[in-house]
Amino acid sequence: MTPLVLDTTAIKRATTPERVLTTVRDALIAHAHGRTTVPPPLHLQFPDADGDCHVKVGWVTDTPDFTVKIATGFYRNPAAGLPTNHGLVCVVSARTGQIRAILDDQGLLTAWRTAAAGALATHAMARPDAATLAVFGTGEQARLQVEWLAKLRPIDTVLVHGRSQDKTGSLCEAFNALGLDARPAMADEAAAADMVITTTPATGPVLQAGDVRAGAHVTGIGTDMPHKNELPPALFARAALIATDDHQQCLDHGDFGHAVRAGATTDTSDTPVGLLLERPVERPDDAITVADLTGVGALDAALASAVLAELAP
């Protein structure tokens, strides 16, 4: 039997942001309780072509499917008219080992689970009355994080901070088209919003800890390698509550790890974000809260499984 191959059109038809949010929430909770299997990824480098390949396996224990995700990045591709990133997600039955489907998703599931995790963490940890949202960065994640958080709570104002005036302007227009009141902002003004989400590939802090106001919440989703860094250690020192999506991963290559190594917090100061999604978070009104999200592989499996349940039940 030839494996089922599903493209982005089929995948988009099979799910909704609401379904993605529910699936990712459940998977983050499962991960917080140790009910996931995520072996360290395989990594292959192609120095002559300036390329690399990661192979990641993930499983939410006792669910029907696991996934093998192949993701490549070849950084000279644009010069040849090819996309930098390529890959696919292979969905395998955890009950029979049969390959159920190949999702030719162009990175869509990874983008969705990253956006859903950020929106869920921000919504759970921010004050119920928080109404201004700032986003650092102007890429796909900046757009998705804001859009999906807006599905979880009302947002009065969106402040967009980017390095490119054009891209910042375009993103604000896109938000306006969705009925959100969005405008460009300087870093200090953005950092002073009720809710802040950073979505950049920065290798040094994108905001100053002193600009973040008492009572605010900050979520960082861009730091996924040891040399990257978005949130300053001093912000973690000020935080009353720190959440991580995966303790060891955030320690190894998240902003949390930078803060621990800088002595701004201890390596036991974090709470699994999944635990904060189970029930309303108790937080003092004037506390600062921070979420450091580095990406959990088991979410790929949960999301791919949810897509397949819809398409090939």
Contact flag: residue 34 with a copy of itself (CB under 8 A): no
- Burial of 80 from C-beta contacts in 10 A (0-12 / 13-18 / 19+): exposed
**105/154 Cα distance (integer angstroms):** 30
Smallest separation, CB 41 to a copy of itself (Å): 8
**64/292 Cα distance (integer angstroms):** 29
Smallest separation, CB 101 to a copy of itself (Å): 11
CB 160, CB 191: distance < 8 Å: no
Whichever of 77 and 157 has its CB closer to a copy of itself, that residue is 77
**18/8 Cα distance (integer angstroms):** 18
Please give the torsion angle defined by the CA atoms of residues 108, 111, 112 and 117, in that order, rounded to the nearest 10 degrees: 160
CB 194, CB 126: distance < 8 Å: yes
Instruction: Supply angle C-alpha 260, 264, 268, rounded to 5.
Output: 50
Smallest separation, CB 229 to a copy of itself (Å): 26
CB 249, CB 41: distance < 8 Å: no
State which of positions 80-139 bind a copy of itself (CB under 8 A): 80, 82, 85-88, 90, 92, 94-99, 102, 104
Smallest separation, CB 311 to a copy of itself (Å): 15
Q: Which of 73, 139, 169, 215 binds a copy of itself (CB under 8 A)?
A: 73
Contact flag: residue 268 with a copy of itself (CB under 8 A): no
Using alpha carbons, select from 117, 13, 27, 34 the residue that is nearest to residue 66.
27
Whichever of 18 and 50 has its CB closer to a copy of itself, that residue is 50
Whichever of 192 and 298 has its CB closer to a copy of itself, that residue is 298
State which of positions 208-247 bind a copy of itself (CB under 8 A): none
How many residues bind a copy of itself, per CB under 8 A? 42
Smallest separation, CB 303 to a copy of itself (Å): 18
Contact flag: residue 144 with a copy of itself (CB under 8 A): no
- Binding region for a copy of itself (CB under 8 A): 2-3, 5, 7, 37, 39, 41-44, 46, 48-49, 51, 53, 55, 57, 59, 62, 66, 68, 70, 72-74, 77, 80, 82, 85-88, 90, 92, 94-99, 102, 104
